[in-house]
Amino acid sequence: FPVTILSLQLTQSELPYFIAFAYGLLPSIRFENHGDVGKWIEIELQAQRYYVKLGSNQKDSLHAIPVGFADLAMFGAIALRQYALNFGISADAALEGIKVMANLAYNAGTYPAARK
């Protein structure tokens, strides 16, 4: 059967929001307007799994996959390590800063939330 591959890179400003979500600091995330075809990703907790939805502005591009807690934790750890390396700080220091950012963004209603 045919396999579809949709790659998406997070921007520098999206990375801390992804980390905050992966560490349970935000209830959902959505990043959009990537590339010429308007790629997007949305992740939220539904029931007992995370659901990752990927797509673009092209017809029939929606893909939804369940992701377990352990898998998202691994993705979060990889993202946190890269974020810390980007700034030459420890992962602990990076996570503390991300916690503050996530709290402020959540309380202000300005984080990139999944669509309702």
Residue range 67-107, pLDDT digits in tens: 999 999 999 999 999 999 999 999 999 999 999 999 999 99
Structure tokens at 92: 């602990």
Count of other CB atoms within 10 angstroms of residue 71: 13
* Model-wide pTM > 0.85: yes
Angle in degrees, 0-180, between the axes of helices 15-22 and 69-87, rounded to the nearest 10? 140
Q: Is the pLDDT of residue 23 over 60?
A: yes
Task: Say if CB 50 and CB 67 are below 8 A apart.
Answer: yes
- Looking at residue 107, its pLDDT comes to 97
